[in-house]
């Protein structure tokens, strides 16, 4: 089974890198470039997991997570917040909004693959990631 991962990221280079890695690991990748689109896609596509950037236009990751947690269709969907912000208050706020995890960018793709196995029973650990050049 191909599990669906919704990738909500407004930086297209970062989104492309995450998407390529997720596809390589065998996930079906849905993409949103802002928080409002992420909420709409999550409700219509029902992904198995959401990777959510913290700072996006329209709705930030916290606001989008709050909306998804308030909806019965997505209230149990695992959400991992990805952020370049190191401040502890952002991490605490993300967890309080309902995110399961907060990952600081740049994130190792191998670490991301291991993190996803906590929430999706896909055997991603058996897939070798390409070596960095």
User: Any residues with CB less than 8 A from the CB of 95 and at least 6 apart, and which?
Assistant: 102
Nearest-angstrom CA–CA distance, 80 and 103: 7
Residues 94-128: tens digit of each pLDDT: 888 888 888 887 888 788 888 888 888 654 444 55
Nearest-angstrom CA–CA distance, 88 and 69: 22
Query: Do 74 and 65 form a contact (C-beta atoms < 8 A)?
Result: no
- Is the pLDDT at 57 greater than 60? The verdict is yes
User: Any residues with CB less than 8 A from the CB of 69 and at least 6 apart, and which?
Assistant: 75, 97, 98
User: What pTM was estimated for this model as a whole?
Assistant: 0.85
Q: Look up the CATH architecture of domain 4-106.
A: 3-Layer(aba) Sandwich (3.40)
Residues 40-54: tens digit of each pLDDT: 999 999 999 999 998
Least confident range from 10-19, 32-41, 46-55: namely 10-19
**Domain ranges across the chain:** 4-106
């Amino acid at each position: 089974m191909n599990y669906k991962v919704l990738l909500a990221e407004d930086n297209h280079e970062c989104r492309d890198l995450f998407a390529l890695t997720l596809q390589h690991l065998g996930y079906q990748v849905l993409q949103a470039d802002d928080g409002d689109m992420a909420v709409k896609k999550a409700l219509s596509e029902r992904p198995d997991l959401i990777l959510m950037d913290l700072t996006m236009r329209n709705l930030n990751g916290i606001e989008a997570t709050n909306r998804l947690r308030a909806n019965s269709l997505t209230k149990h969907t695992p959400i991992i917040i990805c952020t370049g912000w190191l401040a502890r208050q952002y991490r605490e706020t993300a967890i309080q909004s309902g995110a399961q995890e907060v990952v600081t960018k740049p994130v190792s793709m191998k670490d991301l693959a291991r993190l996803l196995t906590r929430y999706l029973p896909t055997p991603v650990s058996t897939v070798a990631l390409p070596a960095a050049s």
